[in-house]
Every structure is written in structure tokens, then in C-alpha cells.
Structure 1
Amino acid sequence: MPSKTLSFNRGIFVQNMRNVGWIGLVHLLVLCFALPLQILMVYTNERRPYYETYWKNVFSISQEFQVLIMFTIPVLLAIFIFRYLHVKLSADYIHSLPFRRPSLFYYHLCFSLLVLFLPIVITAAILLFLQSALDLDYFLSVYKIARWIGTTFLIELLVFFASVFIGMVTGMSVLQGVLFYIMLIFPAGITVLVVMNVKYFLYGFSAEYYLNQNIERIVPLFRAFELAHRPLTWTEIAAYLVLIVVFFALSLWGYKKRNIEAAGQAIAFRSLRPIFKYGAAFCFMLVGGLYFGETQNHFAWVLFGYTTASALGYFVAEMILEKTWRVFHKWKGYLYFVISMLVIGIFLKIDMIGYEKRLPSLAEIERIYFSEEIYYLAEEKMVVTYNERSGYAFPKPFFATKENMKNIYLLHQQIIKDKELVKETTFNSRPVVFGYELKDGSKMVRSYVIPFEKYKSFYKPIIESKEYKQIHYPLLKKQDVSGLDKITIQPHSGWTATTYITNKEQMKEFVAILRSELESETAEQIFDERYPWGDIELVWDNNERMNVTWKKSYARLDEWLKENGFAKARETADDFTHAVIIKNTEGNRYGEINFEQAAQHQDALRIHNSQQLEECLQQVGSNDEIPEYIIGFYYKGTSNIKIEPIDKQYAPEFIRKHFAK
């Protein structure tokens, strides 16, 4: 008799059917809508060929809807199956029945597993019928359907047991749902918050590097969106199974230990209330510091964000726990939190572990990543990123020659020495990333935003090196250009037509001159801030492509184009009637200047000479928001004006003389 009672109880089964049976029916209906019905709808209309190409497996069908089902149905089930725990009268009644708590827990779990599993199996059976009846083997094979059953059930089990665990921790059903979804994104969310805040304390800390490590994949919700093209690995399956067992054990333990009086309480266990309270204060603090740090870019504002947001989080958590707003007399608990955070903050700020000055020795370094961008560094040991669709190859900026590694190392050492100067300077700043790959396989990454002008002398030997140019100009490493199909020159001006070079002999000469220009390019030419003439694209027979910026310093290339009948590859003085030059005496930003009004001023310089027009075309362009001069080129045969800035250092002599009067 005891065995029979343990294995099945009709009263509890009927009660569960009344309480949560509808969830099983909804589960089945939404799965049928998401999968079989969608297949039939597509099969009977004209869009079928498109979906035959797009659908690769079961997860490809209504992918977003499937993910929504996985992360809502199990949560609702967990909330309603243990709803009685959160209502005092129901909790008293259920626990007055002649059942041990573990037995009740197992009854509810077994019924819940049926609610989750049966709709999945029934839907899979319908899919198998459609597969045989409609000949849909290309995406509805038996193997793919079986994999869909296993993966869907595994994720729904994980979501269910995690939600059950939250239900044991809290005494409120609404809070159970809220806390579950917070917990779902918590691993990635807290990682982002911590990493983004650490950079305010440690000079050189590269938050972007750590945030490029695909941390979103540790969140099952985000990982589920990738199932259509990347199935779960065995490691992920094992991790999910371990989590299911852990949540099951914790839920059972919590069910045994929680008091009936916990119904209606925000946190069922008194020992967990400080974790909830201080955890809320900590998370609010990180969000506040991040907001003010990113919007104000000043450490005093970061501290303001920490203080105000942490206080808000602490007292809001207290209000939730106490169910009243009269909690401000409990300020001592917040004071303890502030003192703890101050200790941690001071520990980071004074860099007791020597993070900011730490550098590996040159003898330990295998190669160095040196760039303004961080994202290439995240991919392990790859030298080239190749996009098969576009045909473009993107070499990664890793340096391995002794001379370059030494020069990069010296630059990094100087940036560390200039810590205060670098942190305070914002004018003409550029990012720089150092990634050291050591011979033992480990990595060390640092990133900074530096005043570029101060360090140009350190950059010069690096960027004039053969290794640098071969990394940034793949054409220099391309030995065989016999398969070159065409060269396209796309000018940056919208009024000049695209030029194509297809003659084999001309392409050979063009590439030879272009290579010579790239090989002889000086640091000053690379740093040149004048606007380029345009872009050069080289296309091979196999669709391999390379892009080179057509800079104004490439004089020999410009001459070759003129000599070979391609003078119209860029704008020339012949395209304009005249030009008007004004001086930005009021120091306005480039976009705020009313050029046409200023051009009417008597101090404006008007030029009609072709040689002077050509000289101005050669010199226009500036990255300075407040340029020294503005020039307007007036096109022939139209009222359009080409308005460009001219930097003081590139302004022709006749312009400087005119405005010096």
C-alpha cells in the first residue's frame, strides 16, 4: 500500500490537471502553430522555393517563436505548479495532507515533465507524418527531428528547474517570474557591468577585448537563437545536464526547508535576504557608474553614479523585503556596503597587483598585436580573416620581426610612463591596442586612448617597416597578378564617373606603380589627413578582391593615369569655373559655417587660375572639426558647389599670404 501511494495519487493528479493541465494544452497548440502549421502554410503557397532554401532543419522554422515557447511555457508551468507555496491558505492545506514533502515535490515534478514532454513528442510525430507525406527529407529527416526533440526538451527542462529553484527562494509568484528572467541573463549581464566598470580604475584595461569573447553564449536564451545553424555541443549538453541536476537538488532542499509562513514574502529564507539586498545595491551601483562614466567621461561623475544608484538599489530592495517604504532608518546596512565598496575601489585604484605597469619581457613574446581596433584579437591564432562572399581578405595586424616588436614595446613603455598626461588629454586622440602573445601560449592585452601627435615619432619606424605595409597592403604580398580581371577606380566625388581598367598590359603597369607607391610611402604620407582621391579595387578571376585607398600623395600613379587617357578618373581644375576661399576667423565647426553667406564677404579669396585650382584640389581635407580655411569649388554648367575644409599645414602659400594681409 505505501508503494502504491508513492507511485500514483489520483487526487493530486486531478488537482494538477485542473491547475496546470491547460499549460500542456497551450504548449501543444503553440508548438503545432510554430511547426506543422507553418510547414503546411508554406507548402501550399508560392513562397515554397524560398523556404526550401532557407529551412535547413527544424530550428529554422519559426525560430524566434520556438525560442519564445522554450522560455515562457516552462516558466509558467513552474509558477503555477507550485503556486500553492505562495498563498498561505493553500500552503497550510496542502501540507496538512498525509504526504511527506519530498513525495509532494516528486508528484508535481513528474506531472510537470509530462506537460513538457508529451506536446514535444506529439508535435514530432506530426512532423514525421508530414515528412513522409510531403517528401520533406531535406530539412525534416528522422535524425533532425530526433535532435529537435532532445534539444528542445533539454532547454525546457533547464528553464523549468531554474524557475522552480527561484520559486523555492521567493514567496511571491510574480517575483518568481521576474527573478527567473533576471537570473537568466545575469551571468552575461554582470560580466558586462563588472568589466565595463573596471576600466575606470585600471589604466590600460581593455574592456572591449573581454566583451568580444562571445560571453552572450553562456546565456541559454541567446544560445537558443543559434540552434538553427550551430547545434549544441556535447560540452554544452553536459553543462546543461549538470545545471539541471544542481537546480533540482537545490529546489528539493529548499522545498524541504522553507517555512509555510514564507508565503507572501519576497525572499523565503532569511539568510538569503542580505544577498538580495546587497546584490541589488551592487548591480544598481555598476549601472549608475557605467551610465555617468560613458556620458560624462569624468571620474567624479562615476563616483556620483555609484553613490546615488547604489543607495537607490539598496533602499528599493529593502522596500521589497519589508513591503513598506518606511525603511530609511536602516541606513547602517547601506553604510557597511559603502565602506566595503570603498575598500575594493581603493584597492583597484592604487593598483596593488601592479596591473598597469606589468609588461612581459621581450624574450617571452612570440608576436604582438598592434592596432586601433580590438576585434581581430579575439580570434585565436588566425593571421587572415577571409570573407568568401565578398572575396576580401583582411590580414590581422600581428608583428613578429624583432625590430618592430622592440619599437612597439618602447611605445607601450612610454605610454605607461605618461599615464597622467594620456588620461587628461582628449584633443586629437586615437585608440591603440597592444596584444602580446607569449611563447607559453598566454596573452596579455592593454588598450589606451592617446594624444597621437606626441607619439608620432614612436609610430614612424613601425609604420614605415616592410612588415607593417605587407599587413596593411595585401597587394604587396601578392606575387602573381596574372589572373587580374579588372581594376576599378571609384572617385570620392559624386560628380566623377567610375573608371575601369581591363587591358592586361595597362593593369600590369598600374599595379607595378601602385606597389612602388605603397612600398615607398613615408610615415608623413600615411598620417596625411587630406581627403583621398578615391578607392581602387582590384578584382581577380576567382573573385578575390583587394582595396587600396588612392591617396593624393601617389603622384606617380596620378601621372600614369593622365598619360594613359584616364585623366578623368578624378576631379581636375577643368571641372570648375572658379573657387572661393574664406578664413574661419570665428572658430566655428565645419558643419556650422554658412559658406555662401561668408563667400560674399570682401575678404574672401576668389581664384580662377587653373594651376591654383589644381593646387587647392590637391590640398583639401582635414579631420579638424574647426578648420583654418573653407573652400568652395563652383562646377561648370551647374549651380552646385563642392565645399571642403583646408587644414592650416596644407594650405597653399598664396592662400596664407592673402589672409595674412
Structure 2
Amino acid sequence: MPSKTSSIKKQIILHDIRQGGWLSVLYFLALLLILPLQIIIQYSDPQTRKYMEKGNLFLYSPDLQWLLSITVPVLLGILLLRYLHKKQVSDFVHSMPIKRVSLFHHHLIVGMVLLIIPILLNGLILFGLRAFGSIGDYFTALHVFAWLGMLLFLNILMLLATVFTGMITGMFSMHFILTYIFILLPAGLVLLVLANMGVLFVGFPVDYYFELAIHKFSPISYFFVNFTATLNLSWVIMSAYAVAGILLYLAALWLYIHRRMEATSQAIVYPFMRPVFRYGVTFCFMMAGGFYFHVMSSSFAWVIFGYAGGSLIGFIIAEAILQKTWRIYSSYKSYLVFVIFLAVVMVATNLVKGNYDNKIPSADAVKQVYFGEFYNYTGDVEDQSIKPLYFTDKREIELVQKLHERAIETPEINGWYEGDQRTTFIVYEMKNGSKVSRSYTYALDDDPELKKLQYEIEGLNAYKHANNPVFNIASSEVYGVDVQPNNIKQSSTTISDRELIDRLIEAVRKDIELADPQTDLEEVRTYSMDLLTNKEQGYYYVEFDDSYKNTISVLKDAGLYDDLHVYPEDISSIKLENFERNNTMMVEDQEDIKHILDHAIYYSEEEDSYYVTFNLDRGRSLQDELSIEYEDLPESIKKQLEE
């Protein structure tokens, strides 16, 4: 009897190798082409060798490495468990004198070995490359171990998830679909729930939570980010995935032991899981439908329609899959149960909505408040010249609260808006350690009081210091300044004198503090400067105009202003072209040229406006188009146009 049992196990192993061995070989060849061969090819060519990056091995076709890691284990797991989807094969396998526990572990171990061997072989090749000449200078042994660890971890986790879903379903096609639904479900649910909370609750900071952690809820998205960007793994998240993998293994084993083999053709094998599938699909379609109609119409009536329609479609699809027929009329009672659930949820949401929408913490209970346009609450942003802004002074906190109160009453902007608008993110950090966060997008033109409060906050020195790069880099870090005019004249001056750089930066800082935030957004900022640094970003951009008196004074003292400024006498002519671009006229009168120069703006949507092109006779023209409103044209030009 022992020899017979050993023979059966050997045949199972050989059968699994025949089923999935070819996929393992293809996986090895794919990894070989993507990584070792690509490194050899780039290194062998002196031209491409110059551009080879030194660092982790995910710099080489990271998207392909990621794609293989989330597809090969799934396909392999489906192939190894394919016998569960065919009744005759399933009956034959389970009639053999071998326990299910042993059979389960045979398939799982063979699957792991077929995944591990291609990765380890490529790892050995990479170690061999390191020992060959100076090619090893481009990656270290630690990089190879990190590559091996990440690929093995993700591949095994995906295989365990595939084995788990294979125990739930009795259909080949459902096994593939259900595996990816299961792995993406946490991230998808979080995404849908957050999106719909943004629909139901005024001020809910959806984008902040999206950017904060949405990708961490699924290994597919989490490893995609870490394959294609800087390797930045969290041990907490990796530990959570490891625990999840162990639980998937234990759950799959338990389900396999208790699985009814006759349920090979059913979408969901276990009866207690069918309501979960039915209502899970219904719930996801409901939220997707509600959010879709919110984006399309911004009307809450359409949102309710989306919830109802989406849930009905989701229920029909789920029930049709479970029953393998579209004749599901007798299941209407199950849908009524969900409708009752939806009604209860909507009533409960309405009860808490008012408290959430109108909640503004007391200034006395606030330790500090973050205020900004971007979601750089933690300060972790690419542009390090923009710093997180915190107000701690009680008067400033109360000013933010007044703006918050007006923002609640102002309609949210969800689409394109041509006027002056803001997106504001507010986080109150309370003295008891809790936080209250809100986000609003609103139009300033529609509410004078809101506009006044917005400009008052933007006029505070704390706001200007946080949002202007010139305050957030030390003068000693700037080794040069490039100053150039904008839009009309092509000229550039590079300043390298240390004393002049310090004077210029100090002057710009003073002018920004004195500047009025109520500047026309369409007004042409006449000049710009690049602050050149040795930091990762390289340079920081600052715009200014003739209202920056201290800056202009420094440029004049240095003899640089005349070369930057555009005088009317520098302009030989101006071409005006109507909005439809079917009529042009040339302006050569110096008074008219000066008038147009003073009133030109970046761009106008008005159909009676004109495009403006300046032709210079002193200096090189950028030939960039500006605009001018009809009402701002010189009277002499208006008369000519009316003739």
C-alpha cells in the first residue's frame, strides 16, 4: 500500500508539471528577455551604456515585470485546479486513495515551485553578470536580493489568492474573473465608498484620501506603484499582505476539505457565499451608478436614479450568473431586501449629513489649522518650494473658519469654470488629538464676501511665505538667477554675482509681502526669474511685474532693467486679429501701441476680443500671442474697425 500511494503522488506531480510546466518555461524566458538580456544588450553598446541607470532592477521594463507577476501566477493556479471545473475529471481525481489535504498541498507546492524556479534562475544569472567585468557596477547584490524578494512575494501571494478563489467557484471562466475581482475588491470598494461620500457629504476631501492610501488596499496597485516608481515598501503593509496570504492558505484548505465535488458547474459553490456575491455585486453597481450620474449631471435626483438603476442592473447580472439564466423573475424578493437596506442607509446618511456638512470646530478647541490649495498636508510633494501652511494664531484660525462657513453655503464647482475659482483643503488639528478635514471647490466671482475672505487669507504673510518658492529656499542655495521678460521680448540675463543675487532675492521677498492678492488673473506678468540651485528640482520659478518696486530698483541699479523692459519705441508694429481669425489689421501709431501694450492680457474668451502679436525693431520678438478686449482698444482703432 505505501508504494502504491507514493506512485499516485508521483503521477499527480507529473500531471501538474505537464499542465503548467510550459507556462513556467515561458515565464523564465520572458524574465530573461526583460532583465538579464536587456542589461547585457545595453552594456555591450557604448552609446546605450552611457544612459544605463544605476539602481534597483525594476528600472528595466517595470510595467512588464509587474504585468507578468500578476498574470502568470493566476494562469498557473487556474491550470492546476482546472480539474475542479469538470465533473468527470473531478470525480476521478477524488476517487484516488489520497487525502484531500495531501492533494491540496501537492498542487500548491508544485505551483510554487513552477513560479520560484524561473525567478531564481534569473536571479542566479544576475549574480553571474555581477561577477563578469564592470557590468556589476550598475546593480549590487542587495538589488538582486530585493528584486528576488519582491517578485517571489507577489507571485506567491497571487497564487494563494487564485487557489482560494478556485475553491469558491466551479466554473473555469468565473475562476479567472473572480480572482481579479477578489484581489482588487478592497481597493475598489474603498474607491467607490470614498467617491460616493464625496457625493453625499459637502466638503468631503475625496482626492486627499485617494492620494493618501487608495493603492495600498490591493497588492496589484501597491506593487505597481513600487515597481514603476522609487522602491518604497512599508513593512506594515507587507506584513499585512503576508498575514493575508497565510489566511488565504488556511481558508482555501478548509474550503477544499469541505467542498462538495458535485458542484463543479456552479458559479459559487458554497450556498452561504451566494448572498455575499449577489449583494456585493449589487452594492458595487449601485455606487458606480450613483457616482456616474453625479459626474454627468451634478443633480441629486439623478444620483438617486443612478443608485436605483445601478443596483437593479447589478442584481440582475449577479443573479443571472448564479442561476445561469436570465429568467430570474422569481428572485424579486431578494432585490426588495436590498431596496429596504438601501432605504435604511439613505435615511441614516441624511440624519448625519447635516452634522457633517456644517461642522466647524470651535477656535478655542483648535491647536492649528492647515490651509492650502493642494493636498500636501504631510509636506510630501514633488515641489519642495511649496510648504504646508499652518495657522496657529487665533485671529487667523477664525478667519479660516469664516471662509469655511461661506464655502459651505457656496455651490460646489464640478465642471469647467472660466472665472476666478479656488480649491481649498482645510484640516483642523484639535487639542485633543483629533482632526477635522474638508475640501471645497468654489467660484469667487459669485460671492463677494467669500472673495474678500479668500483674498484676505492670501494676503497674509504666512500664506505668501508658504506658497512662494523664494521664501522656502535659502539664498545660499541659489548659485545663479536667470531673469527674462515674458510673452513679448526674447531676452535673458544670468546673474551670478553673490551680492546681487542676495539683494535680488531679498527685494523679491519684500515685494511679494507688499503685493495685493487681488491681481487680475489675466493680467500679463511682465517678467520672470529662475532661481538656479543644486537641489533635485534644479530651479524655482518666480513671476513679477513693474509693481514690484524693490525688485525693479535692484535691476535698474545693476543696469539690467532696460534690456528686459519692453518700451513702446521697441515695437515697430502690432498685428490685431479678430476672434474668428478672418480679419487682421496692423497698428503702427506709437500712442496706440503704448495703449495696447498697457492693456494686453494673456487670453480672452470674449468673441469681440482680438489676438495681439507684437513685432519688435529693438530686440527679438517671441511672437507669442496675447489678447485684448474690444472695450480696451484705443478709440482710434475702434473707429477704424467700425468703418
Q: Which residue, out of 556, 576, 594, partners 1:614?
A: 594
Identical-pair percentage? 28
Return closer, same or farther for 1:520/1:121 CA change in 2, 3 Å cut-off: closer
Question: Is structure 2 residue 434 aligned with structure 1 residue 446?
Answer: no
Distance 1:350 1:643, change over 3 A: same
Q: Is the 8 A contact 2:483 2:494 kept in 1?
A: yes
CA distance in 1, matches of 2:593, 2:155: 71
Distance across 1 between alignment mates of 2:328 and 2:302: 27
Which of the numbers 486, 507, 511 marks the counterpart of 1:517?
A: 511
Tell me, in whole angstroms, the C-alpha distance in 2 between the residues paired with 1:424 and 1:115: 51
What are the residue-to-residue correspondences of 1:143-162 with 2, within 5 Å?
143-162=142-161
Matching residue's letter, 2:579: I
**Where do 1:632-643 residues align within 5 Å?**
632=612, 635=615, 642-643=625-626
- 1:343 is aligned to 344
User: Do residues 569 (structure 1) and 564 (structure 2) align?
Assistant: yes
Q: Which residue of 2 aligns with 1:397?
A: 389
Q: Distance in 1 between matches of 2:71 and 2:430?
A: 46
Residues 485/614 of structure 1: CA separation in 2 closer, same or farther (3 Å cut)? farther
Kindly state the Cα deviation for residue 94 of structure 1 after the two structures are TM-superposed.
1.6
- Mapped contact 1:530–1:552 kept (Cα < 8 A): no
Q: Distance in 1 between matches of 2:172 and 2:219?
A: 23
The farther-off stretch of 264-273 and 508-517 is: 508-517
Determine the C-alpha separation between the residues in 1 that align with 2:499 and 2:131: 60
Q: Which runs of 5+ in 2 are unaligned?
A: none
Asked if 1:41 corresponds to 2:35, the answer is: no
CA contact (8 A) 2:579 2:609 kept: no
Residue equivalent to 1:593: 579
| Paired AA for residue 276 in structure 2 | I
Would the alpha carbon gap of residues 577 and 466 (structure 1) be closer, same or farther in structure 2, given more than 3 Å must change?
same
Question: What are the equivalent positions in structure 2 for 1:357-376 lying under 5 Å apart?
Answer: 357-374=358-375, 376=376
1:8-157 mapped onto 2 (5 Å cutoff): 9-46=9-46, 49-50=49-50, 53-134=52-133, 136-138=135-137, 141-157=140-156
CA distance in 2, matches of 1:452, 1:186: 40
Please say which of residues 251-260 and 307-316 is displaced more in the overlay. Answer: 307-316
Distance 2:139 2:458 in 1: 55
CA distance in 1, matches of 2:624, 2:67: 54
CA contact (8 A) 2:412 2:441 kept: no
Find the aligned partners of 1:634 and 1:31 in 2 and give their Cα distance.
Answer: 57
Task: Tell me, in whole angstroms, the C-alpha distance in 1 between the residues paired with 2:531 and 2:139.
Answer: 43
The one of 452, 458, 478 equivalent to 1:457 is 452
Is 1:472–2:474 an aligned residue pair? no
> What is the correspondence of 1:420-431 to structure 2 with a 5 Å cutoff?
428=419, 429-431=421-423
Q: What does 1:56-455 align with in structure 2 at a 5 Å threshold? A: 56-134=55-133, 136-138=135-137, 141-225=140-224, 226-227=226-227, 229-230=230-231, 232-352=233-353, 354-374=355-375, 376-377=376-377, 379=378, 382=379, 393-416=385-408, 418=409, 428=419, 429-453=421-445, 454=447, 455=450
Tell whether 2:542 aligns with 1:548. yes
264-273 or 565-574, which moves further after superposition?
565-574
Q: Any conservation in 1 of the 2:530–2:542 contact (CA below 8 Å)?
A: yes
Q: Distance in 1 between matches of 2:304 and 2:321?
A: 26
- CA-to-aligned-CA distance 1:224-246 (integer Å, 9 cap, x gap): 34258426444344223211211
User: What is the aligned partner in structure 2 of residue 589 from structure 1?
Assistant: none
Q: TM-score, normalised by structure 1?
A: 0.83
Pairwise CA distance, 1:38: 3.5
Secondary structure, counterpart of 2:490 in structure 1: coil
- Tell me how far 1:407 sits from its aligned partner: 1.1
Counterpart in the other structure of 2:486: 492
Change (3 A) 1:465 1:312: same
Matching residue of 1:585: none
**Shift, 1:268, TM fit:** 1.0
Deviates more, 1:210-219 or 1:156-165: 210-219
Q: What residue ranges of structure 1 are gaps of 5+ in the alignment?
A: 583-591, 601-605
Change (3 A) 1:486 1:356: same
SS in 2 for 1:488: strand
Aligned equivalents of 2:319 and 2:22: distance in 1? 36
Distance 1:31 1:542 in 2: 36
SS in 2 for 1:359: coil
2: CA distance, partners of 1:93 / 1:297: 58
Shift of 1:624: 6.4
Give the residue type in structure 2 aligned to 1:80. Answer: L
Deviations 1:47-103 (A, max 9, x none): 56246x425244444433332332222212211211111101111212222233223
Distance in 2 of aligned mates of 1:37 and 1:156 = 22
Shift of 1:8: 7.4
The 1-side partners of 2:312 and 2:328 are apart by 12
Amino acid at match of 1:645: I
Report if aligned partners of 2:385, 2:467 keep a CA contact under 8 Å in 1. Answer: no
Cα distance 1:104–1:499, how it changes in 2: closer, same or farther (>3 A)? same
TM-superposed deviation, 1:175: 1.4
Matches within 5 A, 1:531-546: 531-539=524-532, 545-546=539-540
Q: How many residues align?
A: 632
CA gap of 1:308–1:611, structure 2 versus 1, over 3 A, is same
Q: Tell me which amino acid in the other structure corresponds to 1:431.
A: T
Structure 1 residues 177 and 555, CA gap change in structure 2 (3 angstroms)? same
Q: CA RMSD in A?
A: 3.9
For the 8 Å contact 2:34–2:61, the answer to whether it is kept is: yes
8 A Cα contact 1:293 1:302, kept in partner: yes
